[in-house]
Amino acid sequence: MRNLFKYHLLKGDCEIMADRIKTGISGFDDLIKGGLVINSINLVTGGPGSGKSIFSLAYLYAGASKFQEKGLYITFDENVDDLRKDAAEFGWDFGDLEKKGLIRFVYIHPYESEINQRIESEVMTFSPQRIVVDSISTLSMSFADAYEVRKELYKLAFFFKKAAATTFLTSEMLSEKDVFSRYGVEEFVSDSVFSFHYGGFGGPGDRTVRIIKMRRSDHEDGPIPFKITKKGISFSKEASKIKL
């Protein structure tokens, strides 16, 4: 199934046209005018348990199972077998997709030497259309100081775009208002920022996402409630109109 379409955005007298891909995640594409800008960098940020990893796994699973798009999951935090087991709870058989050559999980130790070169090697070897890096917060710990973090993240973002991959970068969100990443640079190298929140109290507005920005695109305003069930993660455009 071909997963590519053009999106037209009118800004005053200017028309912006960009190629897009569907995420394939239930309800999410309706929130972002049909899909992500192709080859874009998308920051997925939030606190622990907010849904970042499930959202990212859903992104790769949908790409492979619905559109036959190859997906690469690079993790510095999670045991790869644990990720597969987490996905299996939603009926997502990543093992089968790995056998078909559509999915690859890679664990990289966060203090491995020449870590960016290792990431680039994995991408060039597998040639994925979709990439998840989980998490940028942990990756950044391997660099000497804030200057090195900024320099290496800019280089990495440029590489992902050049590799023709549409990428998710996950990041732990700090408690300060309007701070969406640990170092403050992650949102600036990203074309989109999706901020996930989990209150832990239950109820329809307990889990929400805010679409902070999307370059070259309109999008729904938030907070937008979402659900995590036995079938995975789903979003509702109509639910975004409910006052929380």
Q: Is the pLDDT of residue 243 over 60?
A: no
Q: Answer yes or no: is 68 within a domain.
A: yes
Please state, in angstroms and rounded to a whole number, the distance separating the CA atoms of residues 184 and 178. Answer: 10
Tens-place pLDDT, residues 87-97: 999 999 999 99
Domain count, the chain: 1
Full domain range(s) for residue 227: 38-241
Q: Answer yes or no: is 16 within a domain.
A: no
* Whether the model pTM is above 0.85: yes
**Mean pLDDT, the chain, integer:** 86
Q: Answer yes or no: is 14 within a domain.
A: no
Q: What tokens were used for 101?
A: 């050559």
Q: Answer yes or no: is 128 within a domain.
A: yes
Please state, in angstroms and rounded to a whole number, the distance separating the CA atoms of residues 94 and 105. Answer: 9
Q: Answer yes or no: is 153 within a domain.
A: yes
Q: Answer yes or no: is 7 within a domain.
A: no
DSSP, res 234: E
CATH of the domain at 122: 3.40.50.300
Tens-place pLDDT, residues 7-42: 655 555 555 567 899 999 999 999 998 999 999 999
